Structures are given as C-alpha cells and as structure tokens.
Structure 1
Amino acid sequence: MEHACVSSLLVLWLSLLPPVLICILLLSYLWTFQWLRPERIRQRLRRQGEKGPKPSLLLRNIPEMRRIQKQLAESDQEQQEAAAGGNHRFSSNYMAAWPLCSLTSTTGTRSTSLFVRDPDMVRELANCKSLDLGKPRYLQKQLGALLGTGILTANGDLWAHQRKVIASHFFMDKVKGMVDLMAGSANEMLVSWEDIVDRGGFHILSKIRQLQVAMAKQDIFAALPGSRYLPTKRNREIRRRGASIRDLILDIARRHEEEHDPPATSSASNSDGFLRSIVEGAKAAASAFSSCTPEDFIVDNCKNIYFAGHETTSTTAAWCLMLLAAHPEWQSRARAEVMEVVRHGKPLDADTIRKLKTVTMVVQETLRLYPPAPFVTREALRDLTLGGLHVPSGTGVRVPIALAHRDPAAWGHAGGDPDGFDPGRFANGVNLAVVELKVVLALLLPRFELALSPGYVHRPAFRLTVEPGNGVALVLRKLCSAD
C-alpha cells in the first residue's frame, strides 16, 4: 500500500506543474543522481586501477547484459552435455545478469558496484565488523515487496535489534530441538511426493513463492529510474501479492497473541517461541525506530526468515538430489552410511544426524557448486578501505559466490577439477552442514534410488536464488525396506 500511496502523490504533484518544469526536473534528476554521482565514484575507483564497462545515461549496461544472456541461452545444449559429463560450470549463465565479473570492476547500475574475487579481499570483507559496510540501501526499494526492512536488508541499530530478537532461535541447541519436526515433515513428503502437505502457514509459503517469481520477471521498463512506481502488469501483481501476504501474516500474528495470552511458558514449542519473539520485538522496535511500525517489523521479518530459510533450503535440496542422481557412486556411499547409522527404524535425532559424515560432505559440495545466493552484497555506507583499496561511500560491493567457490587456486588441489562434483574435498570437515538437508537425505536414500529423467534439462536460473530453471526431473525406484 505504501508504494501505491507514494505513486499517487507523485502523480498528483507532477500534474500541478507545467510540462517544461517537469522536463527540467526530470533531466536534472537523471543527470545528478543517475549519472554525476555514480560517475564520481567510478572516477575515484578508476584512478586506483579498477575498470569496468562504460554505462549509458538511461539504460546503463542493460543492453550489454541482455546480449550476453541471449548468447548464453543459445549454449543450453552445451551446458546439458557438460553437466551429464560431471562438469558443472554454469556460473557465467546467471552471472551474466551483471555486466562484468572480473577480479574487481565497476558497473553502471543505480549505484556503482565493485565486484570482488580476490581471496584476501573477500576474507577481509567477511571479517569486517564495521557498520560502515552494510546492506545496499537500494535493496529496500528494489526488493521491498519481498523483504521490506527485515534483517536481510536493514542496517545499523534496527539490524542489531532484529538480530538480537531472531539469532537465539537458530543456535544449535534450538536447532537440535527441531529435528523431530524436520523428520516428521520429511516423512510426510516421502509418503506421497504428489500430495500437498496441509500444514499451517502453507498458503503464506506458496504466496511468497509466487511473489518471488513475479519479482524475478523482467519488463521493458526495468532500466528506468523509479520504474517500480509505474502501473505495469508486473508491478500490479507484486503489489497485489504483497498485500495478500501481509494480511495473512498479520492475521496469524493476531490469532497467536490471542491464543497465547498470558505469555507462553518455556515449554512452548520452538515455532511458538519464535513468533512470540518477533511480536515482542516489534513492540520494542516501534518505540525505538520511527521508520518501523510493529506491523512492518512482523511482516518483513517473517518474509525474511522464509526467504533465508525455506526457499534456500528447498532449492539446495533440489540441486542435491540432482547431483546424487547424476553421480550414483556417491549416492550409494551416502545410502550405505545412512543404513549403517540409522538401524532398524531408529528415529532420527540430533546425535544421529551428527554421525552422517558422507551425507554432510555431499551437502557441503552441493552448496559449493550451487550456492542458493549468487552474491554477498554490501554497500559502503561511508568511505572505507578494503584490501588497500579506498572504496567511496555509496559503492556497492559484490562477491560472486559461485565464482569464488570455483577458484582453481582454492579448489583445484592435486589437479582436481573445481567444476566437478567431489564431496571428498570436505573429508577433513568444514562447518557448513545444513541439518534440514541431512534429515531429508537420511530419510530419502534408504527408500528410493534416484536417477535423472531423460527429460531433465540442466538450466540454472537466477530468480533471486539460483534454482533449477526447469525443475529437477527424477526417476525414483522404490527400494525394499531395510528392516
């Protein structure tokens, strides 16, 4: 609703101005904010030796990006054959949504961006604790319908408050308590792969997924400044779905408060405790941050948790099944381990999941080859220095994760192929395990043998996360019970 109100007020205000003055204001805005300020940042970076493609005033690098994407779309057959042969070099396919992915470069997007692949600079970026480096401010506008000002886009004190409210619910002792819930959900999925699981909150998850797909669509106005305010079909769909999701989340929050008044005790379930923390955090945020209403705090952070948790995990699960189907030797090793650790129908628990070493290695290698998030994205909120490079305030800093994960210097040890699937890379252990995925694999592998369907098309697509563009078509063969 906020976007609709802003758009209406803007149209009303412009209608009261003479056409000549409107043109002058528009040209002044385009020159100052869309060209002059970004160009000053680019000049400061060029003087330090960092170069990038030259943008145009209105379309920036959009034509170049689309040209590269068109060329890559024509090479789908080559990607399919490479994946069938065990080579998963796909990253340039979705990285082409940005003009250049060199060591460090500048681009002509709304805010000049610096692409970082140098390992030392990436390490310094990851270890930076300064609030001078934060989330890009434009994301709150660009992805406002999906993420709002939740923990994935907020900065400063608001982000610190959200982290305090949310983080404790994802400490390992809390995650261990969720294993039973994960196993129950996975079992329901495996009983029938076709039936929709009728669980609380499913409609919200479905609608947020639809919103994500709508926001990933491109239209001819995407390059225009302020295009999100235009009454295009895409924008109308985004606003309609966003308003529907907001109503559903607030209705659940209201009913939750009514059902748990007085406050829930320590024996409350993890999900109840989490939602109560969000509601209580919203009340505290309302008195401390004038820009954040209680309703916005609840809605935005619930959507953020979905996107950061459910969507990324489900996408990684799809890639994991594809890789196991394409590499039956690792599928057999993981299945043998599960059947050895989980004997005679023993229920899964946190201790059992911890013992699944091969499954952990498979999950880690999946995340290396197909990371759900394509970039780590930050913005210099003030002038700062990274790796000896002076980064001006307003510069976007992006680390292309998939390219960093395929750096031969880091992943090509002993002549290994950094684009190949080799879970053995993690034999010595790296703390990247995802409990949800391990639960799913531990329950699935003893029941089914996986193979890629002849109709499977290997087409990674960037839709805010990196997901199988055409889904993952599998052939399942039910295995005899091990009991």
Structure 2
Amino acid sequence: MEGNISLNVKIFISIVLVFVLGLFMHLCSVLVIKPKKIREILRKQGINGPPPKILLGNILEIKNSRNADEKSPTNHSHPPVSHDSAAVFPFFQQWRKQYGQLFAFSLGNMQIIHANDPDLVKAITKCTSLDLGRPKYQQKELGPLLGQGILTSNGAIWARQRKIMAPELFMDKVKGMMNIITESADSLVKSWKHEISTGSGIVEIVVDEYMKRFSGDIISRACFGSSYSKGQEIFSKLGALQEVMSKKTLSIGIPGLRYLPTKSNREIWALEKEICALILKIVKERRQEGYDKDLLQMLVEGAKTSNLSQDAIDQFIVDNCRNIYLAGFETSAVAASWCLMLLASNPEWQKRARAEVLEVCDGQVPDTDMLCKMKQLNMVIQETLRLYPPAPTLAREVLTDMKIGEIHVPKGVNLWTMVATLHTDTDIWGPEALKFKPERFEKGIAGACKNHNSYLPFGFGQRVCVGQNLAMVELKILMALILSNFSFDLSPKYVHSPVMRMIIEPKDGVNLLIKQL
C-alpha cells in the first residue's frame, strides 16, 4: 500500500516537473528566443534599434523619456507659432536621430518596426492583402474599449462588418444627415450667444466640452436614433474608460498583465460592463418602440443574418457601437477644438475663411453645394488634420511572413507609421512644415507635399476610416456657422500643450475669447 502511494507521489511530481519544464521552455521561446530571432532577421536587413530588455523590451526607456520630457521646462509661445505634435513622442525623436526613419523596438515581447521611410510607407498604403491587418494586441489590450469591432477585427469578420457599416456612411447617406448636423451646430451657436448676452459682450469659453457635445449629439441621433442626453452616460463612461486605459499603454506587450486584478484593471472591467449594459438597453428600447433605418438597425440586421448566437449578436452590436461612439465622437470633437485654436491664432486666415462663408452662404443655412464651394475653409481643415491628425499612429500587424516593399517582415511583427511625424517632415512638406499654412493645399494634396501617400489623416488603403465623409461635413458645417456668427481670439489663459492620451489632445483645453458679430 505504501509502495503504491509512494509511486503515485513520484508520478505526480514527475508530471508537475514536466509541466513546469514545458511551461518554462514555452515562456523562453515566446519571451526570449522568438523575439531575438525576429530582431536578428531585421538586423540582417539593416534594421537596427535600441537594445531591448527581457520581458520589458524598451518600455523603461520610453517611460524615462516621457518623464524627463514632462519635467523639462518648456517655452510656450502665445499664440503658438510652431505645431510639432510629434513632440508628444520624445523617445521616437531620440531614436530617429540615432537609427533613422526605419528602426525596430520592443514593447514587452512585441516587436515593432518604426516605418516612416517614405518608400516603405508607400508600400504599406498600397498593400491590399488581408494578411496585413490590425495588430492583435489592440483586440487584446484595448478589448474593453473597442472589443472585436471594425477598428480591431481582421479577415472575414472585419470584411463583414465593413460591408454592413460603410454604405451607411457613404456621402449620399451623409447628405441625409445634413439637417441633424446643422441643428446640432445651431444649438451650439445659440448656447454661445446666450452666454455672450449675459456677459459684457465678450465671453471666455473653454470650447472642448461644447465640441464633444456637438459631435456626440450627431453620432447619437444620426447613427443610433437617440439624443445626446440619452447617450450622455455612455459617452461619459467611455471617456472615463479611455482615460484609465491611456495610462496603461506602456504595459502593452507584457504578457498576462491585463488579467491581474489590479485597481486599474478592476476599474476597466466595471466600466466595460456598465457600457455594454447601457448600449444593450438602447437596443432593447428600440425594439420595443420601433426603429428607423439607421446604422444601429443595420448592425442589428447584419448580426441576425450571420448565424450567430444571441450572446454573439449582442457582442457584435455592442463592439461596433463602441467603435462608432469612440471614433466618431472623440476624434471629430478634438479636431474641431484644434481647428478653432488655429483660426484664433491666425486672425488673417480667420478673416479669409469668414469672408468666404458669408459670401457663399449669403445668410442661408449651408447645404452640400455650398460646402463644396468653401475652398478656403477646406484648406484650413486639411491643414488642421495635417498638424493634429486624428490618428497620430497607424499600426498594422503582419499576420504571415510577408515582403513589404524591399523588406521581408516576419509573422507577428507590427508596423507603426507615425502620422504626426510624417505630416511634419520637412523633406516632404518643406522648411515650414511646422507652421500653419493652409495655402499649401491650394492645389490639393498632390500640390501640398512631395508624396501624396504621406498625408494620412484618415488612415489608408481598404481600412481607411469609414466615417471620413461624416467627419469632414461635420467640421465644415460647424466652422461655417461659428465663423458667420462670431469672431474669436485665444485667451491669455490658453497654454499650448498637446498631450497624447488615446489621441493628441489639448492638455488643458482650448480657451477662446468669443465676440458675437
């Protein structure tokens, strides 16, 4: 009897040892051997970079660089005359000086190529293979924020989602949203007029929250058939979730951290659960009250025809609603804030854009034909999106071994194109690349820079932003109505300090002194 027990113990210990050894070997392969092999393949092609540390990669260097940059004294001009939004990535600036436009670095065990070489950028933008997809880490690490929606999914899942959503945001559908956009912009104008009427003729306004309310109202009404007030709680919780997750960006690539019950992770899980419940509540109410043929209904019908379980249908709807709320709400609102800051900083261009709007509209509400005639305003918006791009970084993952341009890229490697850097490269845009000069777009994108593939405010290729038409119309109508009703200057309280959260935002908001015309 004792012999059998002893034998069983030995067998159990042997199994445990084999398991532990197997786990150890697997971790060594994933965390050490495979990353080292990938870096060696890249080095043989002349792609070098900062040496990584085991488990952490280059995370500590990035963190130290950001901390040093935040502590260093900076001279903020008023108004700002230089617009180097890429300065929010000081570590990339340091590495570019040392290794050039093409180098490799690591976040944990994730290997990344900094791909800002113009020839490689062109090759990436021209690639139509589904094997060059969204990085898997985005779905894993940003899952609570984006789930498996159109912004993070790949392959057939992504293709089905785009097939459902893209037609609902084509220009002909956006034209049908004009009344909603105009009403939302008019509501903002009226609120500013009311504030001015109760003051001394000039009022100081921090515009950012107004821009978010405007953008959120359009997304809620045009895409989901509900008012901003109804979706306000969703926006609030998405904003809170975005803020928590933006603080965790440096931990991307460290295996297992997202599963630990840390304080921030518990907060993330709770917010995600609440957001899902709120979105499904709107869906349920819509089923009971009837519906219009808007984007939400297209998502519901598209999910039903895909042979998914009810749980999977709910997840499909929730994930894509989160994607639309976030992409359509936050980026448009921040772009509007930056545009107002630039017009306030450049009174001559404010006057030019206003004169054009007044001439084209002649006291009428702007329609699509009028918007097409606003060339000066269009140039201002294009220049805003160049200096402060909605997506400052475009990331792709090679899902199988591929040749992109002249480089053989191993499976699993990420390609990061730093749009903020690309948009202000003096070799591409000329010696005044960091200055606000809308006239550079007078002859279109091709006439503004040496390579039109270097202007990527809405991404590139088949995964270009499906909402770009809506975003441009929103910005044009809003700016047209503001310019025709108000003049504005930067407040002395404004501090020009771009900061990287999930996108590049004004750290303390945009303070304007606004006067009714």
Q: Is TM > 0.5 for Structure 1 vs Structure 2? A: yes
The 2-side partners of 1:175 and 1:163 are apart by: 16
- The alignment partner of 1:96 has SS state of helix
- The alignment partner of 2:403 has SS state of strand
Contact 2:131 2:398 in 1 (8 A): yes
- The alignment partner of 1:477 has SS state of strand
1:33 matches 2:30: yes
1:471-482 alignment to 2 at 5 Å? 471-479=509-517
The 2-side partners of 1:395 and 1:169 are apart by: 33
1:283 matches 2:304: yes
Where does residue 4 of structure 1 map in the other structure? Answer: none
1:466 matches 2:504: yes
The 2-side partners of 1:131 and 1:478 are apart by: 51
Contact 2:133 2:154 in 1 (8 A): yes
Match of 2:312 among 290, 293, 296: 293
Contact 2:146 2:323 in 1 (8 A): yes
Q: 1:159 to 1:251 in 2, by over 3 A?
A: same
The 2-side partners of 1:450 and 1:474 are apart by: 6
Alpha-carbon offset, residue 18 of structure 1: 11
1:305 matches 2:335: no
Where does residue 408 of structure 1 map in the other structure? Answer: 426
Match of 2:381 among 335, 358, 363: 363
Alpha-carbon offset, residue 202 of structure 1: 2.3
After superposition, the C-alpha distances for 1:462-482 in whole angstroms (9 at most, x for unaligned) are 111111111112221222xxx
The 2-side partners of 1:220 and 1:378 are apart by: 18
Q: Which runs of 5+ in 1 are unaligned?
A: 1-16
Contact 1:59 1:224 in 2 (8 A): yes
The 2-side partners of 1:29 and 1:374 are apart by: 35
Match of 2:393 among 362, 366, 375: 375
Alpha-carbon offset, residue 332 of structure 1: 1.0
Alignment-mate amino acid for residue 338 of structure 2: W
Match of 1:86 among 81, 88, 95: 81
The 2-side partners of 1:403 and 1:28 are apart by: 40
After superposition, the C-alpha distances for 1:384-439 in whole angstroms (9 at most, x for unaligned) are 11111101111101100011111222210xxx400100000111134977111111
The 2-side partners of 1:387 and 1:219 are apart by: 29
The 2-side partners of 1:305 and 1:148 are apart by: 12
- The alignment partner of 2:74 has SS state of helix
The structure that is helix-richer by fraction is 2
Where does residue 127 of structure 1 map in the other structure? Answer: 126
Alignment-mate amino acid for residue 285 of structure 2: R
Which protein is bigger by CA-based radius of gyration? 2
Alpha-carbon offset, residue 29 of structure 1: 4.7
Alignment-mate amino acid for residue 303 of structure 2: A
- The alignment partner of 1:113 has SS state of strand
Where does residue 14 of structure 1 map in the other structure? Answer: none
Q: 1:294 to 1:164 in 2, by over 3 A?
A: same
The 1-side partners of 2:92 and 2:331 are apart by: 20
The 2-side partners of 1:436 and 1:106 are apart by: 38
Where does residue 12 of structure 1 map in the other structure? Answer: none
Where does residue 479 of structure 2 map in the other structure? Answer: 441
TM (norm. structure 2) is 0.81
Contact 1:94 1:460 in 2 (8 A): no
Alignment-mate amino acid for residue 210 of structure 1: A
- The alignment partner of 2:417 has SS state of strand
- The alignment partner of 1:254 has SS state of helix
1:215-364 alignment to 2 at 5 Å? 215-218=245-248, 224-260=254-290, 268=292, 272-287=293-308, 293-344=312-363, 346-364=364-382
Q: 1:286 to 1:37 in 2, by over 3 A?
A: farther
Q: 1:23 to 1:319 in 2, by over 3 A?
A: farther
Aligned residues: 447
Alignment-mate amino acid for residue 306 of structure 2: A
Contact 2:382 2:441 in 1 (8 A): yes
The 1-side partners of 2:377 and 2:398 are apart by: 39
After superposition, the C-alpha distances for 1:256-298 in whole angstroms (9 at most, x for unaligned) are 12323xxx6xxx4xxx4211110011223344xx898111110
The 2-side partners of 1:395 and 1:459 are apart by: 33
Q: 1:299 to 1:405 in 2, by over 3 A?
A: same
Where does residue 421 of structure 1 map in the other structure? Answer: 436
Alpha-carbon offset, residue 143 of structure 1: 0.3
Alignment-mate amino acid for residue 369 of structure 1: L
In percent, how many aligned pairs have the same letter? 42
The 1-side partners of 2:289 and 2:313 are apart by: 19
CA RMSD of aligned residues (A): 2.7
Alignment-mate amino acid for residue 176 of structure 1: K
The 2-side partners of 1:85 and 1:208 are apart by: 31
Q: 1:213 to 1:85 in 2, by over 3 A?
A: closer
TM (norm. structure 1) is 0.86
1:60 matches 2:57: yes
After superposition, the C-alpha distances for 1:60-86 in whole angstroms (9 at most, x for unaligned) are 2121112211222134523x23x7351
Alignment-mate amino acid for residue 303 of structure 1: R
Q: 1:55 to 1:99 in 2, by over 3 A?
A: farther
Where does residue 184 of structure 1 map in the other structure? Answer: 183
The 2-side partners of 1:144 and 1:243 are apart by: 12
Q: 1:30 to 1:455 in 2, by over 3 A?
A: farther
Contact 2:383 2:441 in 1 (8 A): yes
Q: 1:21 to 1:463 in 2, by over 3 A?
A: farther
Contact 1:89 1:419 in 2 (8 A): yes
- The alignment partner of 2:484 has SS state of coil
Contact 2:59 2:251 in 1 (8 A): no
Q: 1:203 to 1:171 in 2, by over 3 A?
A: same
- The alignment partner of 1:77 has SS state of coil
- The alignment partner of 1:454 has SS state of coil
The 2-side partners of 1:404 and 1:28 are apart by: 41
The 1-side partners of 2:260 and 2:365 are apart by: 54
Q: Which runs of 5+ in 2 are unaligned?
A: 1-13, 193-208, 218-227, 447-456, 458-468
- The alignment partner of 2:136 has SS state of coil
Alignment-mate amino acid for residue 57 of structure 2: R
